[in-house]
Amino acid sequence: MPHVSQIDILEILNGISDQRAFDSDFGGDSDAEDVLCVSSASNTPTSTTRGSKRKNAFNGGPSTSPLSSSSCNINSHDDSNLSTISSEVPKLSRLRSRKLKSAINSNALQSSSGSEVDDSDFDPSYEPIPHIDTNDNILAENSDNENNMLNISEPLNIENMDLLVDFIENSDDDSNYIEDNNENNILFSFSKDQPLTSLSYDSFDFNEFYGPNVLVDIKSPMQNFDIYFSDFYQYIVDQSNLYSNQCGKNLNLSIIEFKAFLGILIIMGFHRLLSLRLYWSANENFYNHRISNIMTQKRFLNILRYLHLNDNSKMPKRESSTFDKLYKIRPMIDHLNNVYCTSFSPDRNLSCDESMVGFKGRSGIKQYMPMKPVKRGFKIWAICCAITGYLLKFIIYEGKKDSKEKGSLGEKTVLEMTNNYQDKGYCVFFDRFFSSINLVSELLKRKIFACGTMLQNRKYFPKTLLKADKSLSMGDYDFASSGEISVYKWMDRGKKPVVVVSSIHKGEDITVVKRKNNVGIREDVKCPKSIADYNKYMGGVDHFDQLLECYNITWKSRRWWMKLFYYFCDATIVNSYIMYTTTVKLTSNREKPLTHLMYRSLLADELIGQFCNRKAFLPKKVIPSTKRKPTDVGRGRIILAGNNSRLQNVGNHMPIAGKYNRCRLCSTKKNVKRSKIHCQECEVALCLDCFLPFHSQ
């Protein structure tokens, strides 16, 4: 039976680098003796360990392997022949894969069970390898280095050789190819000329609507806010009442009262104090008349205590496959993500960036980024309208996950957030954390154009086609293109250039920006239009964060999900305000939109109004109280009204009708008394029998 010669086998093995042979599933860490005996190995699987084979090959010890020296005595070759054969290795050229396969197919590498030795006695066609005198002994020199050893742990038959050839063909170092073997492999061939393609930014007809998709009432901020929360009020109320019952309490929360609760939080956002309890303080410097008259401190804290968004009894265990780190707030996340994107159609330009929600407590999803302004908290990926800052979709980063999806974290994040904008011709801008040539190419397949800064060590970056950083001065630029994808390098002020990858702009798109020269005079400097547009449209998420941080309603809490609840409430207010301002600008030329502060103030008034807008009348018959003596002043509380205003000018202290409030004289925590009668001067509620004692003692 014809056999492949030892020279051919060495040529095949010589084409495999040491590191690949060490890591490869087809070879592994092999011995030099395996190289000699590979053609004569039987089909019986070996059971010899890697260490024992290495010891037998180089120390002359016995071996039980089918590839041992006792079964591989190739025409009585000794160690000198090993040096002779190995000296030919550097002189052999690597065979082409096609020739290798044809040679393997024409010469079957199968050893019969009765022939254990490749010898002329058993095979007349056997030709011994001639002895070549040389002092080079490459295999022997590398025998002490375990990382440079090859290992053929299985007999080399046609199947194994095919795998070996495929491995050689697929292991070539070619930076232009994606390593994954699938139908989406793309060759990025960058050049200075940009060929025309069927899909380009200029030729795409963008016809998407811009503005709110729902009816916006410019006279009622609450109607705009209810676009997002109208279907969610009842769910929050039900879950909060359920949680209070599970804790053995009865919250008995209603939708009207919950709206008033939100209104109080909004007022607290632009009347900031150090503690919640200070708004009900007896100290006039902290006391807030508006808040204290809406709801008592005890009731407000009870609502805050039992506020809940999901049923704890149904939460999956940590060991379960359905465990969700965001289970406690998942319903709100899903609801808002759905209603945000359906209520507003953004401008063509979108921006994708990260946002931080500060939190220093205990949480499994808390992140620490020492170089950020907010170092500890929750990282949120957000995509916003680049013009208005409207939040379209957000993703809370939960930490590293085991995912079968290919690509980096930034690539997967952008692709997920742009799912609703495929095949429409939108443009998305992102920073260097997300950007890569692979991402821009994948977005282009989905008919989404992209632009973003990029690191120069990213895969497929055309470093050889672009000028070196040291050769660029301020205003100099260079570019390279591959189809509709262009990479730009521009030197701004400083030592490092700005690198941008874009599928929106062409290589010759240049604009002018103002920069100061060494003397301090502003002058025109050439700049790629891709970089100018990036600076123009990248700030959508930053604009949203700026609006959100102005009058945020957040408070300290040990419950991590409460920080996210505050964040989502603020985000909803900001989105409703952006819809309001956009509608005013699109429909009215003369009317100016309200400021953000005035919009929040009116929203709080409308939310609270449904809870407190009750008409109070003085009763027709006033029945004196018999449970409490009016002279028992010491048992009651006298707050808010100072002695000077309480005891002087008594003639101005006239009773008037008002709403039910606690009597400031006889009401206690255990025995609460409420009255509709108010003192006009002191602005406190008093029982009819308590009115005179309050102003005389």
Report which of 503, 484, 349 is spatially closest to residue 427, judged by C-alpha positions. 349
- Residue 12 sits in the same domain as residue 160: yes
How high is the pLDDT of residue 151? 40
How high is the pLDDT of residue 639? 45
Residue 237 corresponds to which tokens in the numbers above?
């109320």
- Residue 103 sits in the same domain as residue 199: no
| Axis crossing angle, helix 158-170 with helix 97-106, rounded to the nearest 10 | 180
Helix and strand numbers (H, E) in the chain are 22, 15
Give CA angle at 181 (180, 182), nearest 5°.
105
- Residue 162 sits in the same domain as residue 199: no
- Residue 52 sits in the same domain as residue 165: yes
Q: Is residue 329 part of a domain?
A: no
Domain count of the chain? 3
Other Cβ atoms less than 10 A from the Cβ of 632: the count is 12
- Residue 151 sits in the same domain as residue 201: no
- Residue 202 sits in the same domain as residue 149: no
- Residue 106 sits in the same domain as residue 198: no
How high is the pLDDT of residue 14? 65
Please name the residue ranges forming H helices in 233-348: 233-246, 255-270, 289-294, 297-306, 330-343
- Residue 25 sits in the same domain as residue 165: yes
Cα gap 50→39, rounded to integer Å: 19
How high is the pLDDT of residue 48? 42
pLDDT along the chain (697 residues), means of 10: 62 62 45 41 42 40 40 42 43 43 46 42 48 40 39 43 42 37 51 67 86 92 94 96 95 94 96 94 92 92 96 93 94 96 95 95 92 93 96 94 83 94 95 94 94 93 90 90 91 90 89 87 91 95 95 95 97 97 87 94 92 44 42 44 51 81 88 88 88 83
Q: Is residue 459 part of a domain?
A: yes
How high is the pLDDT of residue 128? 52
Q: Is residue 247 part of a domain?
A: no
Residue 321 corresponds to which tokens in the numbers above?
């496959």
Cα gap 175→172, rounded to integer Å: 9
Cβ contact 537:453 at 8 Å: no
| Burial of residue 307, with CB atoms counted within 10 A of its CB: 0-12 exposed, 13-18 middle, 19 or more buried | buried
Q: Which of 537, 556, 586 is the last residue of a domain?
A: 537
- Residue 138 sits in the same domain as residue 202: no
Cβ contact 487:463 at 8 Å: no
- Residue 512 sits in the same domain as residue 624: no
- Residue 521 sits in the same domain as residue 639: no
Q: Is residue 497 part of a domain?
A: yes
- Residue 18 sits in the same domain as residue 156: yes
Q: Is residue 204 part of a domain?
A: yes
Q: Is residue 131 part of a domain?
A: yes
Q: Which of 522, 537, 552 is the last residue of a domain?
A: 537
Q: Is residue 271 part of a domain?
A: no
How high is the pLDDT of residue 19? 55
Cα gap 247→252, rounded to integer Å: 13
Q: Look up tokens 């704890």; give the residue.
A: 312
Domain that holds residue 682: 615-697
Cβ contact 150:30 at 8 Å: yes
Cβ contact 666:636 at 8 Å: yes
What single-letter amino acid sits at 132? Answer: I
CA dihedral over 558, 561, 563, 569, signed as positive or negative: negative
How high is the pLDDT of residue 305? 96
